[in-house]
Structure 1
Amino acid sequence: MPTADLHTHSNASDGELTPAALVEKARALGLSTLALTDHDTTQGLEEARAAAALAKLEFIPGIEIEIDFEPGEFHLLGYGIDEAAPSLVEAVERLGRARQERNLAIIERIMEAKLPLDFSRIEALFRTSYLGRPHLADLLVEAHCAHSRQDAFDRYLGKGKPFYIKKACLPLEEAISVIREAGGVAVIAHPYSLFVSKVMLGELFDQWKEMGIEGIEAYHPTAKYGQCAILERMARQREMFVTAGSDFHGKMRPECGLGRTSGNTPIDIRFRDELVAALESRT
């Protein structure tokens, strides 16, 4: 049975594998469709697209943009984007500059705390295309200041912790506009991370659909299958399409296997079909 994965990350953001290696892993697992959705960057898309063409794998270019939202986390997926679209290029560059400024501020706090980090490793990371809190968490683990990436977030880097600095995010209206101007469709990622009640979630879905969001990522490894089915019903009630993904990062998040979603189930090709239909309706 053909399967897809519509939510993955490469080392262009905080994933383990290069875009080409990610495509090769998808091919080896028998996936027929892969979307690359790195955090706030499109840098891996060209490499992934070329590798997918060689592997005869359908490739959907994407991005995952963080939105300023309380009380939880709001991530917006953009699919079918043209990474050369001027408004998208400008937004990604702006987010990259803000990320670097935030990283410097976090590193300054780490240095003030006199933790035994290898700062030559930090300098090397700064020469790469993407540096974020997950990479700093890994350095804290290497320095034996934390047991795992999650422990580093729980003790140092998470919200309210000593090294936390609020991230600069795009306003929702701008993120939707940027995705649509790039020819893409906007999808709410893993909605349970919003940390709101079911009633509030429904109200937000209604509001965000009016703003231009067209789909909901109902199936995600962090939610139980029954919870995902509830999200799918909520999407159907609003005539929004449904996607599914693994949120694959590699060894950093081993519970999220490529091509698998909630309950470790293979990602059905029907989710790819819904996404492609939505993209084709835009042309």
Structure 2
Amino acid sequence: AERKKTPALMKYFSEKNRLLAPYLFYEDYFVKGKPAWVPKRNLSLLDVLEIAPETEGVPVLAHPGAYFQKTSREDLAVLKESGLEGLEVYTFYHDSSQTELYKKIAEELDLVPVAGSDFHGKIKPHIHFGSLKEGQYWMVEELRK
């Protein structure tokens, strides 16, 4: 309630900007040249796997069929040995053959098979929240172990 009275933040709480507020706030504070901008550091997958436990992160490889098409089963085994815990199996990015392939690999490597719609709100209007039916809560429970 107090933050709504802070002059610098008032525009983000107006009814007019309600839906766009997160994007407007980001543009006003987090892009290059703005007060909260921090230079981005590119990390390799192995770097991420190394620091994930320190940040209480749970490393899961998303969209393997879309962005990591040249990643072999052997590559995924190396990532598993380095700390990978889950593999996105169910996603709109995969066709049925890719889904079956990654499901099999997840099983063989003892990776938790997970589901992700890649829902990001207005920036991906063709993806609707909750439209991917394969996701189950047991996946989350497995990742929490």
Aligned to 1:178: 51
Q: Secondary structure at the match of 1:218?
A: strand
CA distance in 1, matches of 2:122, 2:27: 22
One-letter code aligned to 1:268:
G
Q: What does the per-residue CA deviation read over 1:12-67, in whole Å, with 9 as the maximum and x for residues that have no partner?
A: xxxx7778xxxxxxxxxxxxxxxxxxxxxxxxxxxxxxxxxxxxxxxxxxxxxxxx
CA distance in 2, matches of 1:169, 1:227: 28
Unaligned residue ranges in structure 2 (runs of 5+): 1-18, 33-39
Query: Is the 1:187–1:216 Cα contact (8 Å) retained in structure 2?
Result: yes
Q: Give the RMSD, CA atoms, in angstroms.
A: 2.7
Query: Is the 2:114–2:135 Cα contact (8 Å) retained in structure 1?
Result: no
CA distance in 2, matches of 1:17, 1:236: 41
Unaligned residue ranges in structure 1 (runs of 5+): 1-15, 20-120, 133-166
One-letter code aligned to 1:170:
L
Query: Is the 1:242–1:275 Cα contact (8 Å) retained in structure 2?
Result: no
- What is the Cα deviation at residue 243 of structure 1? 0.5
CA distance in 1, matches of 2:50, 2:21: 29
One-letter code aligned to 1:186:
P
Relative distance call for 1:186 and 1:125 in structure 2 (3 A) is closer
Q: What does the per-residue CA deviation read over 1:113-140, in whole Å, with 9 as the maximum and x for residues that have no partner?
A: xxxxxxxx9xx864233x49xxxxxxxx
Query: Is the 2:91–2:115 Cα contact (8 Å) retained in structure 1?
Result: yes
Relative distance call for 1:223 and 1:17 in structure 2 (3 A) is farther
Relative distance call for 1:126 and 1:254 in structure 2 (3 A) is closer
Runs (4+) of structure 1 exceeding 3 A deviation are 16-19
Relative distance call for 1:206 and 1:255 in structure 2 (3 A) is same
Size of the aligned set, in residue pairs, is 118
Aligned to 1:242: 113
Relative distance call for 1:257 and 1:125 in structure 2 (3 A) is closer
One-letter code aligned to 1:256:
I
CA distance in 2, matches of 1:249, 1:234: 27
Aligned to 1:228: 99
Richer in strand (by share): 1
One-letter code aligned to 2:76:
F
TM-score of the aligned structures, taking structure 2 as reference length: 0.68
Q: Sequence identity, in percent?
A: 27
Q: Secondary structure at the match of 2:29?
A: coil
Aligned to 1:255: 126
